[in-house]
Amino acid sequence: MERREGRVRHGDIELYYEDWGRPQDPALLLIMGLSGQLIHWPEVLVRELVNQGLRVIRFDHRDIGLSTVLRSEGRYQVSRAMLRSSFGLSVQAPYTLDDLAADCIALLDGLHIERAHIAGISMGGMVAQILAADHGERVLSASILMSSPLMPGLFPPNPRMLWTMLSGGFGGRKPAGLAKPRPEDVADFLQKLSGRQHRSDHAQLVEVARLSLSRSYRPAGVMRQMLAVMATRDLRPRLRKVRVPTLVMHGRDDPLLPWWGGWIIARNIPGAHWQLVPGWGHDLPASMHHELVQRISALTRAAAS
């Protein structure tokens, strides 16, 4: 299976990417969520999508993984920003999700891809909403997974879990004197995101956490990404402009973003297909791979026809 890697420049930002499959096949851009690196799209899932006749691109957002890390020029109070965001008030941030959407367009430009299917998870699903609404001429179809429309009062539903992720300490159990948490502690936290029926394997989570920590550990970058989410206003008015085939999927057991956020997204996008999955949480366990591949690939084929 063909696999290429490289970097695309967007102003002062360099985005690291992997490009899987045949260049002549329809492109599918995978957009990861808050704090997630490209490796958090499981390689087996990527390969299964390629086997469906897709050219699959996964990449590191700015401030994460092997892409450019930024520096905050000012001091930002995340707790205050969370409070203001919950009431729909303005939030100061180094960048917004519109900038992350512009990064995606720059990545497509750098790879000479005129139009692509997109699939975004969590924060990546928010970026996918912006791309489908404001850059529809570049989008063939949109799969929005376990995401939120950023409606005031809806995000975040679980501040304690969110703060654990942002702090980088994963429950305050980072061993004294170490710059990074232990992979086992990261895996313990990530498994709490699983649903009752579809659960991630703990040993696999440990291995992914170990690879993630060796690639990059940027808690300050994750904090800036969170500020970008909170500085992006309610997406519902934009969603009514979406004219591309859209799939919205959400887990009934999602402990981080409530499933009714996905339902609101689907209600506001004309013709969107809504799929609520019992027993699925806020992760990509092996037991969900087949359904995700089938539904995303079916959407891409329907869009082509």
**Active site residues per annotation:** 122, 254, 282
Cα 166 from Cα 168, distance rounded (Å): 5
Is 191 in contact with 89 (CB distance < 8 Å)? no
Which residue is listed with tokens 């170490």? 178
Is 264 in contact with 103 (CB distance < 8 Å)? no
Is 164 in contact with 171 (CB distance < 8 Å)? yes
CB-hemisphere CA count at 13 Å for 131? 33
The tokens for 197 are 């029926």
Residue whose C-alpha is closest to residue 300's, from 139, 120, 146, 148: 139
Element (H, E) at 170: none
Residue whose C-alpha is closest to residue 295's, from 31, 131, 52, 126: 52
Residue whose C-alpha is closest to residue 270's, from 251, 245, 295: 245
Residue whose C-alpha is closest to residue 247's, from 115, 101, 146: 146
Cα 245 from Cα 273, distance rounded (Å): 8
Three-state secondary structure call for residue 178: coil
Cα 83 from Cα 13, distance rounded (Å): 30
All residues at 6 or more sequence positions from 163 whose CB lies less than 8 Å from its CB, including other chains: none
Residue whose C-alpha is closest to residue 257's, from 282, 221, 238: 282
Is 198 in contact with 191 (CB distance < 8 Å)? no
